Each structure stands twice: as structure tokens, then as C-alpha cells.
Amino acid sequence: MGFAPLTVLLACSAFVAPVRGEEPHPFSVDDMLAMRRIGEPALSPDGQWIVFSLRTTDLEANKGRLDLWLVSRDGKTLRRLTTHDAADSAPKFARDGKSVFFLSTRSGSQQLWRIALDGGEPRQVTDLPLDVGAYVPFGDDKRFALALDVFPDAKTLAETAERDAKAEKSKLKARVYDELMFRHWDSWEDHKRSHVFVWTDGGGAPLDLMKGLDADAPMPPFGGSEQIAVSPDGSTVVFVSKNVGREAAWSTNLDLWVAPSDGSAAPRCLTEANAAQDDAPTFSPDGKWLAYLAMSKPGFEADRQRVMLRDWKSGALSELAPTWDRSPSELAWSRDGRYLLATADDVGNHALFALEVATDNAEKGVRGTVHRLVAKGTCASPLSSDAGVVYLRDTLTSPAELEWLPSYTSTPQPITHVNAERLAATKLGAFEQFSFKGWNDETVWAFLVKPIDFDASKKYPVAYLIHGGPQGSFGDHFHYRWNPQFYAGAGYAAVMVDFHGSTGYGQAFSDAISGDWGGKPYEDLMKGLDAALAKYSFLDGSRCAALGASYGGYMINWLAGHTDRFKAFVCHSGNLDERLAYYDTEELWFPEWDHGGLPWEKPDGYTKHNPIDFVQNWKTPTLVTHGELDFRVVYTQGLSTFTALQRKGVPSKLVVFPDENHWILKPQNSKFWHETVIAWLDRWCKP
């Protein structure tokens, strides 16, 4: 990492134009959709340049567009690298530092491309018959580890492509299965597997490192290049894979596998002893260590992710910072190999940390010492150079921007300001974090976002937002589906409580929700609303609406049967019947863990807090929304909720999106969803 203090010259990026004299307007869904979204940063070998993908929304075309941009670390120079009506993503610097590899759909399928930083047209690198799902360069600018979806019994990539084309043309559209899982998230299983290949530019067909292995390597959107690691000397590839078979639907057992990059030996499992999840492998710069994340409880997807270190020569395994009660979501090595950078939920934030790996760093601490580098906001994608750390950070009042941390004791410095003009044109609500005593008199944290044009002498309606997961968090984060600024812009005060079960407060706090979905969280939510009303006199307790999705949608249905203090509800993708939901969903490990077992063996876990058993108490006006492609919380649960409301005569509305999954993502659908939600709240909560 280096962490050498540097003099920083700050400048607004070229995105920022002088703000015109128009009066700022209330933040709306149109403003949210108009925000430019930075992602996938990559740092040049000399640490002076960052290339990143930038998503802009084309509302008329009803899609997002991805282009690549290049910015100097001081923010003074910014320019677009690619311009094409295609998705250009996943940039990675070449070893020479003068060009960038990236994935693009500009040739019709998704292939690997390369573009020089000094201009010119990009060059297509791969021309394979299948999409490249993810890639990792070997560092010699010639070899790459590629993730490709193949039929495991196909002899060539062309055979997989031919079978796909034949199925597409066939008039027979029957889907046939003899094991779980037969569908996942929003797609039906097509009997293909994601395999890791090694491909050499100019060297012929890719080499399948998983040939004969009935396993699946995670692919986007559930995994990608962070699940593949190439050793610094290029001799070895480590990848994450899950055994495919009848246990796939109820097992969380991801394993690390290792294979020689020349295919001279079959892949070998490194983590067979751990029946829980192992993922995110990354080699230290000198190749001495393999770091990765590991859970310890099989079947539990929200267990604490531990940071593991494997001595690559001896195979000795140890846990780094074993007493650190946080669950990191990503790892990256410092350039000098002395630290592991990690991001993790942390008391309403997603903070950036550095964990000491070196054992001879007496000045700063012992091995495993954890340094919190950036405490506030939501940090992601840390990258290290000799000049410090570059990372993304967003907050409740700003989308993600690139920042630079010259040393682990310095103040973050901004690099980009891609949304400055757009933000300046809007009115945003000020926010603050507060705490109260929840279940068992334990401290629970929450956020409040004030309405725009705030006047302390007025009373404001409340939008009470309930997060999903349930092991999740509504924190200091610029959300693109549940953004509290949208409600603040419409004249509401938004309140978000991180009830028991939320992440970032220690594993025991997160574990507390398992087997108690309607207990501790419900008590926290009721006490949290009481605390907010007592603390903030401008909140109107007679005009509160509660909104939630996924587990938050379940909680809306639970609230409907247990309280009449809300004027309106919005239930998105929420379960009504936990018993039937088990048989409908695809990831069975989730209900089996959180409800204590199989429903025919442990029925009490599914009936203890089941909203359907309290429909007789429903009376609150409710908007129900769902996506038909939601295989996690199947849309029939939303239909059932609406049926119950209508049959009871409760004012209600149903909105179903045929082309959406668990989330409402398409721009036109998102706009309609937000406008429908705010119209529903206004109908019941505005004077």
C-alpha cells in the first residue's frame, strides 16, 4: 500500500459544468435515474490513472448504457475511452500500463477487447462462439482465465453454441429436470455449467481447467472475476466452484479449487474440510499467501465472513483478525503485501478497513490489527498503489464517486465529481443517525432523512422504510431502488431502522433474527418508530406509511396483522405464507436455516410468525407490487396478498411487472413504480 503521505492537488473533473441559475428542484425518481453510476474501477500499474465503467440511463431506450472512462488520480484529467451503443464493462489495465482490456457486447456476443489509452479504435481480443462471462489477465498481456458457460459433455465450445442454437430454433420448448435447482433468481436452468478456461492470444482453443468436474463456477450477477485468482508467476489458477447435484438447492458450500494453468493435472479442492462457503480468493503480490473469505456454518448464507490466510508453500491455514466481529464483503492486497484491504458493514456504514498481515510491523501493531481507514458512507472496490488507496464511496446525499486515501492516517481526497451538477440542481434532505433501546434493552441504530425545505415548525408525514435480507442494512448509502431522498423530495421524512438481524453490529446481532422473524425485529421497529416520534417533534405520528421489499415485504404483511398505527402500506416481493413459500423458492438453504429445518420436520418454524394466519386483522390500505420473474419470492405470493386484501374489502392495488425479477430495474418500470408508490402514500398520508 505504501501509505506515504502525498501532497494532493484537487480539481473538479471534466464532468462538472458551471451550475446554471435555475432554482433547484425537489429530488425525484427522474433525478435518481439521471445519476451517472461509477463502477468497476481499475488502477494503472504506476497508480497514476484509474479506468472505470460509467452507467448512464437512456430512459427512451429503457436501458442503461455502459462506457469506459479514464481519470488521473488527481482528478485533473478525465476523458471517455469508449463510445458505442453496447455495454463496455470490467476494465483491467494491461501489464504495459498503456492499454486496457475490457468486456464488450459490440460484436453481438460478449467478448474480450483491448484499447490503447492514447486513442484509436478498440481491438477485439477473443472471438469465441460463447459469451465471456468474466476474465482475469495473467499479467503477460497474452494469457487470460475466462469463465464460459458450457455443456459439460460438449467436446468443444462450438458444440455448446450449436446445441444452444438448435434449442432456440426448436418448436419444442419443454423444460425437463430430474433434480434441484431447476431455476435460479430469474432464469431457468439450461443444464450448462460455468467453467474456468485458460486462453492464450493466438494460441488456439481455450483450455478447460474444470473438464470432467460436475461443478459450477459463479458467474455474473452472482460472481465474476473476484472468484478467480491467478498466481503471480502464472503457474496456478484458483477458482470458486459449487458442486452441482441434488444438494445444490440447500447447500451453501462453495469451495476453492486449484489447477495448474497448463492443465497438466486435474483441479484439486483446497477447502474440502469446510462444508460452508469459501470465496473471494486473492494472491499476495509475492505469491506467498492466498487470502480468501470463509464462513463456518453450513447452510447459513449470512454467517460471518472470516478472513483466511493460506501459506501457499506449506499449506498452513490461519484466520486473520479472528476477534474482529465484522463480515467483510471483499478483499484486496496492498501493493507491498503488508495489508489486506476490506470493506464491511459497520454501524450503519460500509466502511473501509486495512488488516495487518506483516508480522514485523511493530510500529503500527501486530499481525491481524484492524485499522478503520474510512468510517462513513458506503465504500467499495479498494485498489492499492505505492501512493495509497483508491476506492468508491457513496452516501445518503451522493452517488458513488472515486476517492483517494494517500495514507492510512490521512483524510480522503475526492477524485471524481461526475454528478456534481445534477446534485446541485436538486434539493436533498439532511440526514442524521440516532439510536434507541430496542429488544432486550439493547442499542439499535437508525437513520432519519428530513424532507426538503425543512421547517421545524411544521409536521411531516413519515415514510418508514424496512430493509430486506433480512440480514441487511439501510445505512449511509445512495440506493437506486429504495432511496430515502426520493421520499424526502416528495415531502416525507424517511426513517430507517436497523433492527435485530441487521448487519454491521456484530454477528450475534445479525443471528438474532433466525427463527424469530416476527419477534425481535417487530419489537425494534415499533420501538424505533416511537423513538423517532419522541425525538423529532416535526414527525406526524398520525400520518405514517410503512414500505418494504423482500423480508421488508414479509414484515409489511406481518405488520398488517399486528398493528393499525400506519395509514398505508407498500409491500414489494413479500411472502404471505412461509409454509408455501418454502416449496416455491429456489434457494432452500435460506428458509431451512432461518426457520430451523424442513417444514415437514420443523413445522413450528414456519408457523411461528406466519402473516397468513393473521389476515383476519388486516385493515390498512396496501399497495402490492411484484415481478413475475422473481424466483426468490415467487410472484404468486404477491397475488395471494392482493387476493386477501380484496376479499376482505381493504383498499388495495396490485402492480405486476412481467419483465422484472426480485428488483424493479428497467428504467421505465422503475419510474412507474416510484410514481405509483408516492401516489399511494399521498392518497393516504397527505392532507
Active site residue 25: no
Establish how many alpha carbons lie within 13 A of residue 395's alpha carbon, considering only the half-sphere containing its beta carbon: 17
Establish how many alpha carbons lie within 13 A of residue 458's alpha carbon, considering only the half-sphere containing its beta carbon: 12
CB atoms < 10 A from the CB of 382, how many?
27
d(CA 118, CA 110): 24
Instruction: Give the chain's count of helices (H) and strands (E).
Output: 12, 41
- Which of 206, 261, 204, 268 has its CA nearest to residue 232? 261
- Which of 377, 624, 623, 397 has its CA nearest to residue 488? 397
Active site residue 467: no
Q: Which amino acid is located at 209 in the chain?
A: L
| Residue from 572, 662, 670, 674 carrying the catalytic annotation | 662
Burial-class residue 165 by CB neighbours within 10 Å (0-12, 13-18, 19+): exposed
Question: Which string of DSSP letters, residue by residue, matches 595-658?
Answer: TTS-TTT-HHHHHTT-GGGGGGG--S-EEEEEETT-TTTTTHHHHHHHHHHHHHT--EEEEEET
| Residue from 630, 640, 652, 670 carrying the catalytic annotation | 630
Q: For cell 433480512, what's the residue?
A: 470
The grid coordinates of residue 101 equal 482490456
Q: Are 95 and 104 in contact (CB under 8 A)?
A: no
Cis before residue 470, ω within 30 degrees of 0?
A: yes
d(CA 73, CA 49): 5
Active site residue 604: no
d(CA 660, CA 668): 11
| Residue from 231, 251, 550, 573 carrying the catalytic annotation | 550
Q: For cell 430495474, what's the residue?
A: 665
Element (H, E) at 486: helix 484-489
Catalytic (active-site) positions: 550, 630, 662
